[in-house]
Structure 1
């Protein structure tokens, strides 16, 4: 089950049922099933607080993923800073919605086992994000491949 929460911000303009279906489809491409996933949309200040308290990191970030996966079932809490997403969208000259979706799926890809900190891993993550974003576009157009 995927749940959507906010802390100190308004809910972003997403279609929760669409995102839920998309997350399940992306997880399925990695032979994973979706367990309990909680998206917590928040401010920069909240994500900084979480980063300091749980990870001992003293910086802002767009997403923090807490991994509770067991076997092939993904589960976790995903804190997403809408402030940082807005800043990144401006910096990368990308639509806000695209950057929001990229970060939403970034956390899921981490839960599916994709990392982005080691040599060459960032490129692998970016390719996986782009593939997932393409799948969302296909789902919206009704042209997504079916099993």
Structure 2
């Protein structure tokens, strides 16, 4: 079970990577989803826009794009692309630290791979609740 973090043409300040990997493995276990591999790629708005257009036919900036690569629905082999530009802008917009917002998006992608969606209002509310639960568990209330 491998979890990797890569920066593509951006500077990445991701603290405590080993601790985060352990937390993510536990998140998948808690959600009852097998995990084979998970690759996070931190990139620019422009790079993520290109992926969004090419693979999802969406012509919009976004903070995250998640791909499930496994043919087995019970075991995740995922790639998660995160725009550092969006993370920085959203941190300012929502008046939170960049570290907090980065982890929110990291957990958001993992939750997508565990089956959570955010297309409807009801799904979005559940996703936000799960993000908050994981952020509180990870940061121990010290956000």
- After TM superposition, the score normalised by the length of structure 1 is 0.89
| Aligned mates of 1:40, 1:12 — CA distance in 2 | 13
Gapped regions of structure 2 (runs ≥ 5): none
Match in the other structure for 2:5: 4
Shift of 1:105: 0.6
Match in the other structure for 2:85: 83
Match in the other structure for 1:145: none
Detail structure 1 runs of 4+ shifted over 6 Å in the superposition.
none
Match in the other structure for 1:106: 108
Q: Does 1:135 align with 2:137?
A: yes
Gapped regions of structure 1 (runs ≥ 5): 141-147
Match in the other structure for 1:96: 98
Shift of 1:36: 1.1
Equivalent pairs counted in the alignment come to 140
Shift of 1:35: 1.2
| Aligned mates of 1:12, 1:34 — CA distance in 2 | 25
Aligned CA RMSD, in angstroms, stands at 1.6
| Aligned mates of 2:94, 2:8 — CA distance in 1 | 26
